[in-house]
Amino acid sequence: MAYLNENYLKLQAGYLFPEIGRRVQEFCAANPEAAKRLIRCGIGDVTEPLPPAAVSAMKKAVDELSVRETFRGYGHEQGGNFLRSKIAQLDYRDRGMEIADDEIFVSDGSKSDCGFILDVLGDRNRIAITDPVYPVYVDTNVMAGHTGPADESGRYEGIIYLPCRAENGFVPEPPNEQADIVYLCFPNNPTGAVATRAQLEKWVAYAQAHHALLLYDAAYEGYISEPGIPRSIFEIPGATECAVEFRSFSKTGGFTGVRCGFTVMTKQLLLQTSDGRELPLHRLWHRRWSTKTNSVSYPVQRGAEALYSPEGRQQVRGLIDYYMGNARILSAAAARAGLGVYGGKNAPYIWVRTPAGLTSWQMFDRMLHDLNVVITPGSGFGSEGEGYFRISAFNSRANAEEVARRLEAASFS
Ligand SMILES: *Cc1c(COP(=O)(O)O)cnc(C)c1O
């Protein structure tokens, strides 16, 4: 008899996006005319084409592979040195963070890494996760058997949930209990909140005092515009000994379909064995990569490298500015419509209070039926997201402007 991993049976049915799809489909079938006006501001996926620097680098790499003289087969399991050194130099050392080339691990994106990291972590850790949250952190821990079953509100037994509310600016304080592993994501998806240096210093101090590990998702660091907001957890002194950072080219270089990201794992980060020894997690992580992967395809790595060229950086800047222009238009319109608006300044997500006590799903239906705009109900990101909805700024300018017009014309009182 072959047995399956029963932890998967604890997962809440992939509820959010399938349910959005079902409601949108039903609405479109019943209202074919309105369906033509439909604008999607729901899913967090980019819309604009790739930066030309990345396109030409990928084409050139394919050409290299197509002739004997420059053909290459397997590369380093942890990623090509040409890319790892660019990342370590331009994203870290040039900004005053001492990160070595071999502390960068190139992957097919940070969603994968957020799950893979559990390979090298023990089973007895108490996990703390913010609420609302990117669902990957919770679900991968459920799959790994680190939780009990979910209750009616969708919260899993054994996880410490850290509420992110308007009162704390959507940045939680460290808990008054022992957490061994803490997931943090700033700028945040879905709330768009960023953590200040002082707030991150508190988290590093917590990690030091509790011998905890911070798993820091910085997928949206490129969207930070406010001066003084840290773009990496390693800007905080002491973080190299207690944090792992995940980054992605998905939202910066528009690589959601191309697939490339990386993990930063320092050699100073030590974790415990059950018999009380402290060992570098880097050693296990390196071994995991050697055994389980061959990194990312060569043309994709060359495409990612090109994002660090002067033209590449300028083109990435252009993409981010474009989406953040949408965010400004959408935030202003939602505010003029009388709604409580958060985020949207250092992140491509606008987190909006539902009006007049509507639930997140009631607001979803209202936006769909009255405005023909698809948003994401906040409750889909966790129970603390109830009473909010997320508008994504990943869209064409024309669509963002049209959504803004419809929002301002609507009456929510
Ligand atoms: C989009 C996103 C990522 C990036 O995922 P990839 O697998 O690199 O495309 C990571 N974290 C969060 C919170 C995201 O929203």
- Cross-sheet strand order for the sheet of 213-217: 104-107, 261-264, 243-248, 213-217, 181-185, 127-131, 159-163
- Looking at the CA of residue 250, tell me the nearest atom of ligand 1: 9
* Confidence at residue 400, expressed as pLDDT on a 0 to 100 scale: 97
CB-ligand 1 contact for 256 (6 Å cutoff): yes
Question: Could you tell me which of 213, 217, 233 has the C-alpha nearest to residue 124?
Answer: 213
CA 168 to ligand 1 center in whole angstroms: 24
Tally of residues, the chain:
413
Unique residue bearing structure tokens 């090509």: 80
Unique residue bearing structure tokens 């490339």: 260
Instruction: State how far the Cα of 32 lies from the Cα of 46, in Å rounded to an integer.
Output: 26
> What percent helix, strand, coil does the chain show, rounded to 5?
45, 15, 40
* Confidence at residue 14, expressed as pLDDT on a 0 to 100 scale: 67
pLDDT tens readout for residues 350-389: 999 999 889 999 999 999 999 999 999 999 999 999 999 9
Residue 341, number of CB atoms within 10 A of its CB: 20
User: Who contacts 84 (Cβ-Cβ below 8 Å, separation ≥6)?
Assistant: 78, 101, 102, 104, 106, 262
- Looking at the CA of residue 251, tell me the nearest atom of ligand 1: 1
Domains along the chain with CATH numbers = 13-49+312-410 (3.90.1150.10), 54-309 (3.40.640.10)
CA 34 to ligand 1 center in whole angstroms: 32
Inter-helix orientation angle 397-409/310-336, to 10°: 10
Q: Whose CA is nearest to atom 12 of ligand 1?
A: 219
Instruction: State how far the Cα of 345 lies from the Cα of 351, in Å rounded to an integer.
Output: 11
Q: Are 388 and 376 in contact (CB under 8 A)?
A: no
Q: Which of 13-27, 142-156, 193-207, 306-320 shows the lowest per-residue confidence on average (mean pLDDT)?
A: 13-27
Backbone angles phi, psi at 249, to 5 degrees: -90, 5
Residue 13 has pLDDT above 80, yes or no: no
| Element holding 270 (H helix, E strand) | strand 270-272
pLDDT tens readout for residues 151-175: 988 899 999 999 999 999 999 999 9
Instruction: State how far the Cα of 221 lies from the Cα of 240, in Å rounded to an integer.
Output: 18
Residue 369, number of CB atoms within 10 A of its CB: 13
CA 136 to ligand 1 center in whole angstroms: 9
Question: Could you tell me which of 363, 362, 359, 371 has the C-alpha nearest to residue 408?
Answer: 371
CB-ligand 1 contact for 248 (6 Å cutoff): yes
Give me Rg for the CA atoms of the chain: 22
pTM of the entire predicted model: 0.97
Q: Whose CA is nearest to atom 2 of ligand 1?
A: 219
CB-ligand 1 contact for 261 (6 Å cutoff): yes
**Angle (nearest 5°) at CA 73 between 68 and 78:** 145
CA 110 to ligand 1 center in whole angstroms: 6
Instruction: State how far the Cα of 253 lies from the Cα of 400, in Å rounded to an integer.
Output: 20
How far is residue 25 CA from its own chain's centroid?
Answer: 27
CB-ligand 1 contact for 394 (6 Å cutoff): no
Backbone angles phi, psi at 389, to 5 degrees: -140, 160
pLDDT confidence tier of residue 210, bands split at 50, 70 and 90: very high
pLDDT tens readout for residues 282-305: 999 999 999 999 999 999 999 999
* Average confidence (pLDDT) over 332-347: 97
CA 217 to ligand 1 center in whole angstroms: 8
CB-ligand 1 contact for 251 (6 Å cutoff): yes
pLDDT tens readout for residues 217-255: 999 999 999 999 999 999 999 999 999 999 999 999 999
* Confidence at residue 413, expressed as pLDDT on a 0 to 100 scale: 64
Name the token pair of 219: 């997928």
Residue 72, number of CB atoms within 10 A of its CB: 10
Look over the chain and give the mean of its residue pLDDT values, rounded to a whole number: 96
- Looking at the CA of residue 112, tell me the nearest atom of ligand 1: 7
Where residue 72 falls (left for φ over 0; alpha for ψ -120 to 50; beta otherwise) is beta
User: Who contacts 318 (Cβ-Cβ below 8 Å, separation ≥6)?
Assistant: 51
pLDDT tens readout for residues 68-124: 999 999 999 999 999 999 999 999 999 999 999 999 999 999 999 999 999 999 999
Q: Which ranges in 211-250 belong to alpha helices (H)?
A: none
What percent of the chain has pLDDT above 70? 100
Q: Are strands 261-264 and 104-107 parallel, antiparallel or unpaired?
A: antiparallel
One-letter amino acid for residue 56 of the chain: S
CA 139 to ligand 1 center in whole angstroms: 14
* Confidence at residue 15, expressed as pLDDT on a 0 to 100 scale: 72
| Element holding 46 (H helix, E strand) | none
One-letter amino acid for residue 37 of the chain: R
Task: Extract the runs of DSSP E, i.e. beta strands, from 21-157.
Answer: 39-40, 104-107, 127-131
pLDDT confidence tier of residue 138, bands split at 50, 70 and 90: very high
CB-ligand 1 contact for 247 (6 Å cutoff): no
Please choose from 113, 216, 246, 248 the residue to mutate so as to test ligand 1's pocket, defined by most ligand atoms within 8 A of CB: 248
CB-ligand 1 contact for 187 (6 Å cutoff): no
Residue 223, number of CB atoms within 10 A of its CB: 24
Unique residue bearing structure tokens 């952190």: 137
Unique residue bearing structure tokens 């990569």: 289
